[in-house]
Structure 1
Amino acid sequence: MNKEPIKKNKKFNWFKKNNPKSPSGGYGFGWFYFFLYAAVLFFSLFLNPISNLKETSWSVFEHTMLAQHDVEKIVVVNKETAEIYIKKDHLEDPKYKEILKGKFSSTDGPHYFITIGSVEMFEEKVQKAQMDFSQEDKIDISYENRTGWGNILSWILPLGLFIFFWLFLLRRMGKGKNTGSSLFNFGKSTPLLTEKGAKSSVTFNDIAGLKEAKTEVMEVVDFLKNPETYTKLGAKIPKGVMLVGPPGTGKTLMARAVAGEAQVPFFSMSGSEFVEMFVGVGASRVRDLFKKAKEKAPSIIFIDEIDAVGRSRGKINAFQANDERESTLNQLLTELDGFGPNTGVIVLAATNRPDILDKALLRPGRFDRHIYLELPTKEERIEIFKVHVRPLKYAKTVDLGTLAALSPGFSGADIANMCNEAALIAARKKKKEVEQSDFMEARDRVVGGIERKSKIISQEEKTIVAYHEAGHAVASWYLKNVDSLVKVSIIPRGKSLGSAWYLPEERQIVTKSQFMDQICASLGGRAAEEIIFGEPSSGALDDLEKVTKQAYNMVSYYGLDEEVGPISFYDSSGQNERILGKPYSESMAQLIDKEVRDLVTTAYEKTKNLLLEHRDQLEKLAQMLLKKEVVEKEDLEEILGERGVEILVNPKE
């Protein structure tokens, strides 16, 4: 008994789904415009008097009508057409019966019309045709100027269509939440507004680590919730908070958490949304944004990637007649701490390039607080892993502490990517849970790229790669200041043909001896090629690039060279980037080049001597790599002896 009603409901639902209403809630103005246009077209066609007449030619008119004395009168309309009236008593003639069949026809006329070229020629033709007529039978021509529906619509209709098209276009442009897309809102800002009381998917509980940064940001949120706690002591809340840190450290996530916790209106925009090719639009949008925020004060404004508009003003912009970015920055500086009051509005901003920001933007009174979000430590990485494995179905054997130890230098975004890659790998293998091995494989893929086992290389090249990677392994194994070696592989991964994986220590300070040992380990591959094959190859390009940069940093930045002395040419402000030349003399440049060359050469000779001393172990390890392709730490200890028990990974190709 219940089957039939269910079928009816299904049909009804199907009908509703296939007959949706317009997004605006009704059927819109589209149908109204259509019927209006149809009505105008109908009146123009059926109420035009000429449309009821039958056109005839001059020869028929002359020989059939005029010669037979059937014409009662002729009326020339607007000097374009001649209307012909047939005498009523002649309409009974069979040749005129067809003109009375029309729906709008009448015996009064007019009954026919002729299109004339010019009035003078038409009159001349009529006079010639009536030369033999008596004076009483001759027909006079009268003239009329008419303004009918046809004439009116001939210019109203195109204009109406043009207006209708633009109204339709502007209506479409003005639709949606983004009011800035409308032509009339060109100078308006388009912030994403999170209203008071709105639930956010991100809170401070979703931010792992960053304890100091959360404390400072939460103080701003607490002030907005309980301002009397601070104001009764005469304290003033900072007007601006600048979030600074490398990409992926959680600057935008922190702002999203503030939006969820603040319980006040939250306006968020990107710095690039202020910049336009039209002069004055950026400044207008800044004014409009702060106007909206003041209307809903207390409120928070968040500007992501503020370096898009906050670049330092200087001589480099002096050659431009009008820089839109600079005028936008000037307006932003005025709104932050200008002559007018800015009560109840707090500005958050995020950037990963604080060195290029204008100094006026960072002074006290504008962005009072600078919160630095650095790469997480091991303990913070454990907390971040706990956040990102929440949505995953992972095995109980997964050790988050080991994963944190195996991911030094990873940002929060890197860890999120690693967890997602592990889930994808487990799903690809049809597993029911994400296991520890999946996380390890995901880590290798994030750091070094995907394995390219299908890449075909010759046996000769494979042998060179094996000895190259063995050279890195042996050199680093016997250099005490080099990170602990974990794994060596000659399987192509990413752009590299092989890689040696290390467990880097999280150092804040690096000594000269540590720098030298790292350079020696990087040169191990090239030195092994020269020892075994008698000549190096191009495979050490990446190693040489790293070594050269590291050596120049030691000499010109860290002051670790005895000849150059304790001098640093490092520019933390970024001002020297605008200078075409070097910040030192030509003689100093030659000295720096000489010391860098001597430093690298000394390290290379030290590495060659070390490998020659342990050549037997070098060859054993290379042969094992050719056989197994991947050598783990246990195999390394079997060949090279025990070095120490440690874990992790970062590849050096």
Structure 2
Amino acid sequence: MSNETKQNNFKFNPWWIYGIIAAIFVAMWISGQSRWVEPSKTSVSKFNEFLNLGQVDKVVVYNKSSAEVFLKPEALKQTMHKDLPKKDILGNPNTGPHYTLEIGNDELFQKKLEEAQTAKKLTSYDYKTSSDFTDLLINLLPIILLLGFWIFMMRRMSGGGAGGGGGQIFSIGKSKAKLFDEKNDVKTTFKDVAGLEGAKEEIQEIVEFLKNPKKYTDLGGKIPKGALLVGPPGTGKTLLAKAVAGEAKVPFFSLSGSDFVEMFVGVGASRVRDLFKQAKEKSPAIIFIDEIDAVGRARGKNNFSGSNDERENTLNQLLTEMDGFGTDTSVIVLAATNRADVLDKALMRAGRFDRQIYVDLPDIRERKEIFEVHLAPLKKVENLDTDFLAKQTPGFSGADIANVCNEAALIAARNNKTAVDKQDFLDAVDRIVGGLEKKNKIITADEKKAIAIHEAGHATVSWMLEHAAPLVKVTIVPRGQSLGAAWYLPEERQIVRPDQMLDEMCATMGGRAAEKVIFDKISTGALSDLEKVTKQARAMVTVYGLNDKLGNITYYDSSGQTDYNFSKPYSEETARTIDQEISVIIEKQYQRAIQILQENKDKLNQLADILIEKEVIFKDDLETIFGKRPFDKALHEEIV
């Protein structure tokens, strides 16, 4: 290994300081000269008294002006020395010095010492021009401790080892990006990314740009400067970036948007400069900034005081660096966020992030592929139907599916199984969607009857409506914060029509409607139902323009600019109309649900009785009571 490499690997360790301080204490203890006990002050007359009584063992005179007095061990037992500490701070006997004094006339004092030594009342005396090395260390010890504490705190404030300079205070402006290159073992590749075919294709093309730029530049094309991965949480944006790091045989700098933020002014901009400087030196290279909205938010939205904004300064520097590239530098910036609507417009323009790659929630075929990836390390039963698992998890992201697989393995282990089976996966989905079962929750008979009626109302209304989601099962076993639940398997629609939304709202109001029909009373148990239908009705009126009275108008702003406004985008009169229309829609579906349940009151009671008895009922139980659902169709037809 070269000397240069050794120097680069050198890192300062604060424990060295602690070791040095400990060694000083040990040396002082071994020398036996340390002042573990502060000596008492005395006068010359008192000293002469001790000397005449033969109690003094040794005297050390410093600079002919002061002296330290060491008493004999037997003298310490005398009453006149009762105020002296018998032990030091370490618990050892107090060996002195026991007293200090100002000697006054040096010649007279020395004569007195000579006479005492001749009379054998004093063992020895010594003259020194200054204090010994141990005393010097004692004087310097507080300074050393303060210096060690200061270095320790500066290292902590600088982020505990920021890259580039060993983590000291002078390296605080260095980039904290983690570098992946051919020396790092990055095992994630595009084969590990299931689904996301469109996103993978664009990302692979970016990798190809860097591997073989001549192929594109020969035709006059320019390498894109940046690509923004946008999508809901858990869809695989960071995983795609890891795959790029594994596939691209070029340096890959990875960091989070929050890594630019620091308590010191100007650090964020300094780290941006250092990051791009390193990337240019290793060109061609890729920079990946995860959660870029931490520094990329639109400027001027939150800074109401007009004072210096460190985040805005960091963003300004990022904009400058991205626009400062030449086409021959071959540095591409990848970024990921699930809040693209709040990003600054200057960051989104062509020439900075040239491409926006939308990473959407997986469809049924992509969920099957994701299941197959996460099922690979599990010990599972043979012929496990991944198509069935994909159908049971509509709206699940890749992270959710990974969680389902892990939860299923934990449930199987809890039940002492040797392999994970289909039921474990169903239980895992229930656990994630509904929460943990609480079978020991205390519920009275009246409450249990009310819960059963409520859930049976949901099941009955959804069974009778064409566009309501097909029922999977109903339970009155408490889960999470809910006292009962009904599981549905919704269709994966690309567009939704008003009659479909109204049927879903009617089915949601079926629980409260059932309570009204059976008990002629309503309860607080429909809170989540009311929240859901209110959001749906408000979306119909204010977002999708599906209300006849307001017409084809929307108050939704996809850019997110209205999030910071203190006023509504409509008048008070329109606000009153919106409230009225939302109430009319909900009440109409509530009355519709009541009518359906009154027509099927006997079957509703019958279903509730079965629920009370079994606690969990499935689609087959509803078919026994209501017969086949007339408008049922295949849950998932092959999409061409």
TM-score by length of 1: 0.79
Deviation at 1:348, TM superposition (A): 0.9
Change in 2 beyond 3 A, CA 1:63/1:214 = closer
Residue identity over aligned pairs, in percent, reads: 53
Counterpart mapping for 1:36-435 below 5 A:
45=33, 57-59=47-49, 77-81=63-67, 117=102, 119=104, 147-150=129-132, 154-155=135-136, 157-159=138-140, 162-163=143-144, 166=147, 170=151, 173=155, 178=163, 181-338=167-324, 343-435=329-421
Query: Aligned with 1:316: secondary structure?
Result: coil
Secondary structure at 2:439's aligned position in 1?
A: coil
Task: Give 1:349 shift.
Answer: 0.7
1:620 match: secondary structure: helix
Matched residue of 2:480: which SS? Answer: coil
Report SS of the residue matched to 1:309: helix
Distance in 2 (CA, whole Å) between partners of 1:381 and 1:392 is 17
Cα contact 1:294–1:342 (8 A) shared by 2: no
Alpha-carbon distance between aligned partners in 1 of 2:176 and 2:475, rounded to the nearest angstrom: 52
Please tell me whether the aligned partners of residues 186 and 245 of structure 2 are also in contact (alpha carbons under 8 angstroms): yes
TM-score by length of 2: 0.81
Distance 1:199 1:222 in 2: 20
Q: Provide closer, same or farther for how the CA distance between residues 158 and 41 of structure 1 changes in structure 2, counting only shifts above 3 A.
A: farther
Tell me how far apart the structure 2 counterparts of residues 39 and 82 of structure 1 sit (CA, whole Å): 21
TM-superposed deviation, 1:253 = 0.5
Q: Using the alignment, how far apart are the partners of 1:516 and 1:293 within structure 2?
A: 54
- Give me the whole-angstrom Cα distance separating, in 1, the residues matched to 2:217 and 2:459: 63
**Structure 2 CA distance for partners of 1:149 and 1:554, relative to 1, 3 Å:** same
Letter of the 1:327 partner, please give it: N
Check conservation: 1:467, 1:622, Cα contact below 8 A: yes
Pairwise CA distance, 1:321: 1.2
Q: Which amino acid aligns with 2:104?
A: V
Contact 1:397 1:435 in 2 (8 A): no
Deviation of 1:76 after TM superposition, in Å, equals 9.1
Cα 1:340–1:322 change in 2 (3 A) is: farther
Deviation, 1:216, is 0.7
Distance verdict in 2 for CA 1:360–1:149, change over 3 Å = same
Separation of aligned partners in 1, 2:570 and 2:461: 36
Q: Which deviations, in whole Å up to 9, do the C-alpha atoms of 1:18-68 show, x marking residues without a partner?
A: xxxxx999x98987876677668878949xxxxxxxx9932477899xxxx
Is the 8 Å Cα contact of residues 43 and 149 (structure 1) preserved in structure 2?
no
Task: Give the match's secondary structure for 2:296.
Answer: coil
Deviation at 1:228, TM superposition (A): 1.4
Question: Structure 2, unaligned stretches of length 5 or more?
Answer: 1-10, 35-43, 55-60, 70-97, 113-126
Contact 2:67 2:103 in 1 (8 A): no
Query: How big is the alpha-carbon RMSD for the aligned residues of Structure 1 and Structure 2?
Result: 3.5
Shift of residue 126, structure 1, vs aligned partner: 11
Matched residues in 1 for 2:331 and 2:325: separation? 15
Answer yes or no: is the 8 Å Cα contact 1:528–1:608 preserved in 2.
yes
Whether the 8 Å contact between 1:208 and 1:383 is mirrored in structure 2 is: yes
Alignment match, 2:440 = 454
Question: CA-to-partner distance for each residue in 1:232-278, whole Å, 9 max, x for gaps?
Answer: 22221111111111000001101111111101111111111111122
What amino acid sits opposite 2:499 in the alignment? S
1: CA distance between counterparts of 2:558 and 2:180? 37
Find out whether 1:491 has 2:481 as its counterpart: no
Which residue in 1 is equivalent to 2:610? 624
Q: 1:413 and 1:543 mapped to 2: Cα distance?
A: 27
State the alpha-carbon separation in 2 of the partners of residues 76 and 373 from structure 1. Answer: 81
CA deviations over 1:612-645 (Å, ceiling 9, x no partner): 1111111111111111111111111010110136
Q: Give the corresponding residue for 1:581.
A: 567
Deviations 1:525-564 (A, max 9, x none): 1111001101111101111111111111111111111111
Q: Distance in 2 between matches of 1:441 and 1:325?
A: 45
Q: Deviations over 1:469-521 (max 9, x none)?
A: 11111111111111111211111111111111111000111111111111111
Q: Structure 2: how far apart are the matches of 1:445 and 1:299? A: 43
Choose the corresponding residue for 1:528, options 514, 534, 538: 514
Deviation at 1:166, TM superposition (A): 3.7
**Deviation (angstroms), 1:339:** 7.9
1:203 deviation in Å?
0.6
Deviations 1:379-435 (A, max 9, x none): 111111110001011111310001101110000001001011111111111111111
Residue 141 of structure 1 corresponds to: none
Amino acid at match of 1:422: A
5+ residue gaps, structure 1, are: 1-22, 47-54, 65-74, 84-112, 130-144, 649-653
Structure 2 match to 1:93: none
The separation in 1 between residues aligned to 2:566 and 2:152, in whole angstroms, is: 52
The reply to whether residue 565 of structure 1 matches residue 551 of structure 2 is: yes
- CA–CA separation in structure 2 for the residues paired with 1:126 and 1:199: 78
